[in-house]
Amino acid sequence: MKRFYYVSNDLDELAQVENELHQSGIDKAQVHIVSRDEAGIDRRGLHRVQDFMRRDVVRAGLLGAVAGVVCATIILVFAYLSGLYLSVSWAPFLLFAAIALGFCTWEGGLFGLHKPHHELRRMEHRVRAGQHVLFVDLEPAQYQLVDRLPERHKNLRPVGEGSATPAWVIRAQQKWQKFFHAMP
């Protein structure tokens, strides 16, 4: 999948674009809008990016987990090479390694909570300037659906491409939406 980024100064036009995309078969989970005008997005019923997804928690948490694996490995190698495990057993070293792994993962997530998402960071200046960023996650068979968007919508400008949400995540979101809409 690939993500296509567009910028506009007009939320009403973005509402038209989102409706066109939905009518073309693009699911709501594939279209997102980032803007400082959260109330305007909600008033028009547009699909905005959740606050959690605007932050780099997952990526930073994974990097923290990698650091935690390195720390845990160092602890276990030290216990083995020093021979301390022979006198006190492996239990304290395994516990200490698990705590180091958990702590590094947690710290990485906390660090990511304070950073904008790595994919959205390059659009941050546009959002601060009052523009609205639309991004669409598409599979290769859907790419042609966005080719002519700027021609039909004069205030819509393409500003780049990037990596998209994996298709399995979008399918899971669709299933959850159907499940919650089916509930009484």
Please write the tens of the pLDDT for every residue from 159-177. 888 776 666 676 776 676 6
Say if CB 91 and CB 133 are below 8 A apart: no
List Cβ neighbours of 163 (8 Å cut-off, separation of 6 or more): 1, 2, 3, 119
What is the distance between the alpha carbons of residues 105 and 153, in angstroms, rounded to a whole number?
44
- What would the pLDDT profile of 32-77 be if each residue is shown by its tens digit? 888 888 888 888 888 877 777 778 888 899 999 999 999 999 999 9
107, pLDDT greater than 90: yes
Report pTM.
0.70
- Residue 150 CA, chain-centre distance (Å), reads 25
% of the chain surpassing 70 pLDDT: 89
140, pLDDT greater than 90: no
pLDDT for res 174: 67
Please give the mean pLDDT across all residues of the chain.
85
- What would the pLDDT profile of 142-162 be if each residue is shown by its tens digit? 888 787 778 888 888 888 887
Instruction: Look at the alpha carbons of 161, 165, 67, 103 in this order and tell me if their dihedral is positive or negative.
Output: positive
Is residue 34 within a helix (H) or strand (E), and if so which, with residue range? Answer: strand 31-34
pLDDT band, residue 184 (cuts 50/70/90): low
- Report which of 183, 171, 163, 175 is spatially closest to residue 1, judged by C-alpha positions: 163
pLDDT band, residue 91 (cuts 50/70/90): very high
For residues 53 and 8, which has the higher predicted lDDT (pLDDT)? 8
pLDDT for res 177: 67
pLDDT for res 170: 66
What is the distance between the alpha carbons of residues 58 and 136, in angstroms, rounded to a whole number?
20
What is the distance between the alpha carbons of residues 4 and 149, in angstroms, rounded to a whole number?
11
pLDDT for res 180: 66
